[in-house]
Chain A
């Protein structure tokens, strides 16, 4: 981990581009290929690359686990909440047309918002899984020592 100078320089250059591309896929998904799911995965891949090169601890300082848990629930909440909002505005569940004055504008808002929810949840869950696996691997000697001594 100490001598990976090339990896560090290249990934410092790549990670912002990965984030930018994830945001592009997220918010341009209605026009080009992609959407919330792909954007969430690409965004988490950027952070995983950071964790691989700079260590899991520094990556956890970027996005701590408790924030990831909140984000994972927040995405589902945004999605389901959009449905509730359309219910309250007098439409059916997830009927986006009632969210704005016209049908098309409402559809557009609805799709952007739920894609954002999808992206947030996917990004958070992928990182939760990665951190769970990475954390599980590290202290295994400590755990074994403790279990052996009891």
Chain B
């Protein structure tokens, strides 16, 4: 009972936020609403007992990515573009039809999805029972998520860390270290690159 009230409230808030984001023309406000969207998603994940995912969503989705989007907005902001927005040259009917058909197919597809937490769902049949039964005795780690991430799927996590590292290198290559060429330069900036 209380679960469904929480779920319905959070999901309606998500839908309201989504419509507000679509209607909004100020990019700054849109970024702030994105952060709120992430926080409410994090709340939904908590309601679904996925605390690890909720952590990540709150910290990355609401925190870091909001900051990075704000920084991008500050970098790309052009006041003269802000005055008048150009309308697209085509009519919205074709995109609307595509969205409606895709959405209809997705809603139709949900009728085949097993119920939330169904023990007979295919996702619960494969390796999940093994992890749930054996992870504590094999790794000694009570948090199954950590056991799977760090031990059973250690290769995947190594790959993920490498991806993050590569992303950092890419950001540095693309937009890092430009300060060296500016004129009133501090010694600190020169040493960086």
Q: Which residues of A contact B (CB under 8 A)?
A: 25, 29-35, 37-38, 41-42, 44-45, 48, 52, 60, 64-66, 69, 72-73, 75-76, 79-80, 83, 93-94, 96, 103-105, 107-108, 110-111, 114-115, 117-118, 121-122, 124-126, 128-130, 132-137, 139-140, 142-143, 145-146
Query: What separation, in Å, do the CA atoms of A45 and B167 have in the docked complex?
Result: 18
Closest partner residue, chain A, to B53 (CB atom): A33
Query: What separation, in Å, do the CA atoms of A144 and B63 have in the docked complex?
Result: 31
Contact between B161 and A75 (Cβ–Cβ < 8 Å)?
yes
Main secondary structure of the interface of A (DSSP, over half): helix
Interface residues of B in 140-160 (CB under 8 A from A): 140-143, 145-147, 149-151, 154-155, 157-158, 160
Closest partner residue, chain A, to B150 (CB atom): A111
| Contacting residue for A143 out of B54, B149, B182, CB 8 A | B182
Contact between A30 and B179 (Cβ–Cβ < 8 Å)?
no
Contact between B64 and A45 (Cβ–Cβ < 8 Å)?
yes
| Contacting residue for A33 out of B55, B75, B164, B175, CB 8 A | B55
Residues of A within 8 A of B60 (CB): 41
26 interchain pairs, CB-CB under 8 A: A31-B142, A31-B143, A33-B54, A35-B150, A38-B52, A38-B55, A44-B64, A45-B64, A48-B64, A52-B67, A76-B165, A79-B157, A93-B155, A94-B154, A94-B155, A104-B140, A107-B151, A115-B146, A121-B161, A121-B164, A128-B172, A129-B171, A132-B171, A133-B71, A136-B178, A145-B183
Residues of B within 8 A of A134 (CB): 71
Number of interface residues of B (CB under 8 A): 51
Contact between B75 and A136 (Cβ–Cβ < 8 Å)?
yes
Residues of A within 8 A of B150 (CB): 35, 110-111, 114-115
Contact between A129 and B168 (Cβ–Cβ < 8 Å)?
yes
Contact between A143 and B181 (Cβ–Cβ < 8 Å)?
yes
Contact between A111 and B139 (Cβ–Cβ < 8 Å)?
yes
Stretch at the interface among B9-17, B22-30, B93-101, B184-192: B184-192
Nearest 4 Cβ contacts at the A-B interface: A125-B168, A33-B51, A133-B71, A142-B182
Residues of A within 8 A of B55 (CB): 25, 33-34, 38
Please indicate which of the listed interface residues A76, A105, A129, A137 has the most CB atoms of chain B within 10 Å of its own CB: A129
Contact between A132 and B175 (Cβ–Cβ < 8 Å)?
yes
Interface residues of B in 46-61 (CB under 8 A from A): 51-52, 54-56, 59-60
Tell me how far the C-beta of A19 lies from the nearest C-beta in chain B, rounded to whole angstroms.
Answer: 14
Contact between A137 and B188 (Cβ–Cβ < 8 Å)?
no
